[in-house]
Structure 1
Amino acid sequence: MNFFEYQDRARRKTGLLVGLFALAVVLLIAITTLLAALLLAWSRGQAFSLSAIVSNTGGQLLGWDTVATIAFSIAAVIALGSLYKLRQLAAGGRAVAESLGGRKINIAPQSDAEKRALNVVEEMAIASGTPVPDVYLIEDDAINAFAAGYKPTDAVIGLTRGSIEKLNRDELQGVVAHEFSHIFNGDMRLNIRIVGLLNGILIIGMLGYWLLRGSHFSSGRDNRGRAALFGIGAGLMVIGYTGTFFGNLIKSAVSRQREFLADASAVQFTRSNSGIAGALKKIGGYSGGSQLASSNAAEFSHMYFASGLKKSFANLFATHPPLADRISRLDPQWNGRFPHTAAEPQGVSVTQQQDAQVMGIAAAAPSGEAAPFEKVLDAVDNSIGNPSQQQMDYGRQLLQSVPAALRQAAHDPFAARALVYKLLMHGDAKHRQQQRRLLQQIAHPAVVREMQKLEPLVRSLPTSARLPLLDLCVPALKALVPQQYQVFKRNLIKLLRSDGKVELWEWALYRVLMHALEGTPDRQRLSPKSGAEKDAARFILAALAHAGNPDYLPAKRAFETGLKAMQLGIIPLPAATDITLPRLDKALAIAATIKPLQKPGLLKAMAATMAHDGVVEAEEIELLRAVADSLDCPMPPLMVEAPGQIAATSRGEPVVTS
């Protein structure tokens, strides 16, 4: 099963989850109706029977109008409670991390252990082609972690103090790989929706609690009224917490199976079962285990790497499989004994020098060569959301090929702006000089000076390192205050339009950045008409055809190659003047909404458009990765085993020639 199949399954699971909770709501409505009929029969001194609830005889208790009112009221309360909670979590993973007391460490890690943890997350992000997520440290000695968010662009990785200090690098990498698999498999959005739905059901129990308090403090003249209020409150508490009981059962059942899948994916990413198995063994042998002390820990129990709560009755509410079961699947030769894990920190003894040696800091920088067409197609099918160990190593080399001064600038909100300005300065020397003069007029003078200082280092970067460097800047740019961010965004747009036109590569970098920082802001203006997805795909292919071919006839051939690959009818090539920034943004926003299983076809058609002449250049590969990122399809950097030019055979099939 590949990334797109996992995404499709996550969509179907969301529908199943909503169906199960809808069934729970129906049962709650039935129980509430029964309770109301019981209370009404008691207040009248009338014998209760089920047939009397909506009977047409004179002894009916409620009637259909009353039952409908009860149903609407219960459904409205649950819906409002769920929407309120989802509104609280609208910020995505950041809201979850901050509710657990997390502190963001991307910008200013305070210890060697924090730097090592941040480095492990960054190399995993670079290797998988995702924006670097915000990393939050939870000040808790338990060994645990989580991934939270709606999609990769707003995901966060949360790590406890215990996990970064008590796990060695291989174990920490296994834990981080496990959390990234939840990002790729579409689990995060489902997790947040579970929190919202459970909160809606819990609201009913809270209303009952408030009514009970009201009956206790109300004046005591009407004992019968107080008793009725008490009965309603007690009944609502029973109903609410019964619903929560069944909701937690659903949550636990959904969560347990996903943990086995995430463990297997982590082994696939790292090509080692010893890291994640070792982390689980340390949890079993550690007195603090994985139990979190935060008062909000229970609310997010299904998101953690290991169980964050004490064992519940008969393990009915266990959101994770038993440690022994998970370890046995990862290490069949395990003897069943947990090693003793010392209470004192263990990971902080790893120095930066040792860590750099482990990461292969002396590895040669990637060359950024062209790649065979077949390799691009294979990457679409097998590498998106599924980086191999070789790609992990390649991502590590990419990260280390970036000079230390640029990596340091990417972590600083001030310097990151200067770095992004320089990365977007594209084209010939005259155009770049025009962009420099513009920035001197509109940007902060200190940012311009910082950009000039970084310029020689950026100029020496291989093409394949530009997107990873942009991804490194994302957490720092998210830390800008709103006024700073608006000025920064306005300057970027002016920079792109400085010569009256927007090159596709410049637009792609800008779109990657906006997608990471804002998501897809154009979806409220999407066309509802039938066939809008196909029109968007044709427009994107036309833009790629013009970008790689300044002359009309080669661009037309490239466009038709892409249309045939996607099995779309041949139409005239849109004029280059029709390819505008707003239309490109809208086309990409529409394309992002197509079903997961249809996205590989679009990506392959884009690759075919680029390779119509038998050549897939390094810059075209990065352009494909940039567009894939905006479609929520994280595409790892491509590895090229040997430099060479890609030529076409007489049958039009790309092959490598020396």
Structure 2
Amino acid sequence: MQFRQHQWKAHRKTLHLFAWFGVLLVALTAAVNLFLALVVKLVLPIGAGYPALFFETNTAVVVLFVIGGAWIETARLREGGGARVAHWLGGVEITDPDSRLEQRLLNVVDEMALASGQATPRVFVLRREDAINAMVAGWGDDDIALCVTRGALERLNRAELQGLVAHEFGHIKEEDLPLTMRLLALVWGLSLVHGYGRSLMSADEQGRVNSAAWLIGLVLSIIGWLGWLAGRGLQAAIARQREYLADASAIQFTRTRDGIGNVLRKVWHDQQTLTATMHSPAAEMVASLLLYEPPGMHWLSSHPPLQARIARICGAVLPPIPAPILREEVNEARHTRTTAEPSTKGFVNAPVIPLSALSTSADHPAPTMSAPLHDDRDALARLQRRQGPTERRLVVLGLMMDPENHRELKLWRQIATGLTHANAILEDVQHLHPKRRLPEFERMTAQMSGDPIEQKRKLIEEARDLLRADGRVTPLERLWWLTLRHRLDTQRVTQSARLAPLSISDETPTQFSAQDLVHAGNLTAYLARVIPESEDQPEITARGYLWCTRVMNRFGMPDQIAQALNAPDADTLMHSLAEVQELSWLQRPLLLKAWVEETINLSSTGLLSDRHADALRLMACLLACPLPPMLETHYRRIQ
């Protein structure tokens, strides 16, 4: 890609489009004068002239609304600068990073500030966003904020993160931020003409409508709406050219096309799998500032199609690539950040990751498994061929038990007495990758849901005896047993319930009542014995209390109450579980999402461990919730 040529073309097209904005304002003024003149001729007697200063007044009104409205909107957008926009999206400023991923982001931002010759902006992480996206907002060096989603931190390697951040620095270098803000203000000013026309058409306090005012309002509303639509199209066209320009700048700053190119290919894959959408309600308001927005009407979209951007960057439309959470080690040295002063010498080379590293870490992350991948898949294939009632029962029990627990293993062998190939089943279960155990458990129990009630009751009793064979039942083992009972008892019901359409109504509750918070807190306190520690704990540890408090703070529970939560006993657990299961289908996923996100936030690696992922997936099954993307991705890494 000849990025300097594309930069020159983008600048030239932007100037042309701004000229069209001026033409649009003149055309809008002329159209208002023309149509209002026709209205006057229809209303006044034939031969009568136009009122004094008729055309001057019309012109002044249009210009006042467009230019004055744009000035007012510009002043409003200036309040708070980029940090205000970041807070709208739920961003958390990163000054003292608490994870290596965040430290890597700060280091990359410093590098791209040097490469672009720009001041270092304030850095925010959108920790609730799983999509790959980023944005910069602000008016000048003093108030620029750079926001990066958590999905980008966890699913992009270092070279790709450099490309993403370099793209945003391209917007800063080309002064796109004040340009974008002014375009928003101009379009808003154009919309005021339509709004003024609608106000003239409305009735007064007595319900009467002035016919002359109604005709004038009709003209202004129609022409104003057409003007707004044309302005919105011009705004989108300018924004598309600036995206091409920022892509070219990303290549200039990193000296490689693979970084930003692979980012867009991963976003394209997420778009196809419907996981590229931002969840914040404010995302739509700042769509033109983001790296990517969902596709809509092409001429009203502020971003070019991903295929066109990839073709410009890579020279061809390369296929999309998946973006799983990367398992590569992130060892970023902690250093004191300094503000990068604008460079007077132009370009400074930024570190570039070799292409060989890209192919192994981004596209084909090496799996970390306790057994070779081919042995794992062969074992899975053999287990899926086990169709006998006794075979399936032993597979389920084998998946639930701890293979290192000798007492559980001894009882499993006693249950398997008489089956000649029991050792082969046990060996296959032990060869499974930890990420396959729970999905295979769900598949097996789904098949067994239609078995006679006697067989299901026997399996539940054998599982209970197996898990307490060593004289204790850990919190995670209890979750396995509760899930087994839940799936065998309710599988038929949940299958039929999927046929019922789900609809969102204004009456569907999303806020937790005080009683709901108590039950949600009990479940959270129970999970705190497993999360975020690596082993089940008899009591909640200090780190467990921190996790529990951060989860419940999301729902408005004060710190002193959250810190006073204790691990519930069996009866309290069952009662709270039953109450939470009765919450609305909008409330339960919010609780599960909070568990997952805070587990990742407190993880030293920024990733879910297999043990934590299993506990959260078991709770998702008990609450009949869909898996959040970050939890679902954990189980896809070895597919």
TM tier relative to shorter chain: 0.3 to 0.5
TM-score by length of 1: 0.46
TM-score by length of 2: 0.47
RCO greater where, 1 or 2, for CA within 8 Å and sep 6 or more?
A: 1
Greater Rg, structure 1 or structure 2?
A: 2
